[in-house]
Amino acid sequence: MVAGPQHVDVRNTGVVSAAGNGLAVVIFVALGLQGALRLSPLDIARATALFVLVMVLAVRALPAHHPFRHFGPANQITTLRAALVALVAGFIGAPESPLIAWTAAGLSALITLLDGVDGWFARKTGMSSAFGARFDMEVDALLILLLSILAWRHDKAPAWVVLSGALRYAFVLSGWLVHRMRQPLPESRRRQTVCVVQVVCLVAVMVPTIRPPASTRIAAVALLALVYSFAVDTWWLWRQPRFTGVPAHS
């Protein structure tokens, strides 16, 4: 069961320590890869800035949605996943090369494997929370956006592949602009499955040995699955009574 919100002093949760460790991972791994992947100082700065932004937003959401005194091992793992996602962001401006593509695919596969680990720790320690679920989801959404941009930049698919990452943010924005889109969505295995399909397909697309037209077809299948999922949710929301609260998926 997801615990309800209550005020928590974030200074006592270990979030600062987790963020510091994650920042160290971003900087030191990026510096270690700098020569081999030809990363510029701007690429490293981009990865660092993205991770800092993610953690600032996480700290802002923590007090109201994490009813525990400690940050917890599950959120620490999600923080590590966020650091690895930030590293993927650093690859966007780097010169396209098979080594960049392999590294992005490998890091993304590791991030996906860790996705199951943090959920297991949350259940095992009894520290499931609305914050943890949302933190995990946002990391996944950001990874999908970055992979879709990389797939486009590496000519694995046309520019429409970026929709795989952008659709979710457009859906969130619609919750602020359209009253009917503010209704909280019910839990759905379909949504979780489609998210996994997106990541797996985009990781496959980034593998250098998978080239167009095969990579384009894989990206198209993933995007069609996502469009279908969002269409189902949009239709469900549009049929609900007018909702005037804060968007649940904001």
Residue ranges per domain, the chain?
Answer: 10-238
Q: What is the pLDDT of residue 133?
A: 84
Q: From first to last of the 250 residues of the chain, give the pLDDT tens digit.
A: 344 444 445 444 588 889 999 999 999 999 999 999 999 999 999 999 999 999 999 888 777 777 777 888 888 999 999 999 999 999 998 999 999 999 999 999 999 999 888 778 778 877 788 888 888 999 999 999 999 999 999 999 999 999 999 999 999 888 888 877 877 788 888 998 999 999 999 999 999 999 999 999 999 999 999 999 999 999 988 887 765 554 554 4
Distances (CA, A) of 133 to 74, 126, 144: 10, 13, 17
Distances (CA, A) of 197 to 36, 218, 231: 30, 10, 17
Q: What is the pLDDT of residue 2?
A: 43
Residue 187: burial class (beta carbons within 10 Å; 0-12, 13-18, 19+): exposed
Architecture of domain 10-238: Up-down Bundle (1.20)
Residue 152: burial class (beta carbons within 10 Å; 0-12, 13-18, 19+): buried
Strands of 72-130, DSSP E: none
**Global confidence as pTM:** 0.88
Is the distance from CB of 249 to CB of 176 less than 8 angstroms?
Answer: no
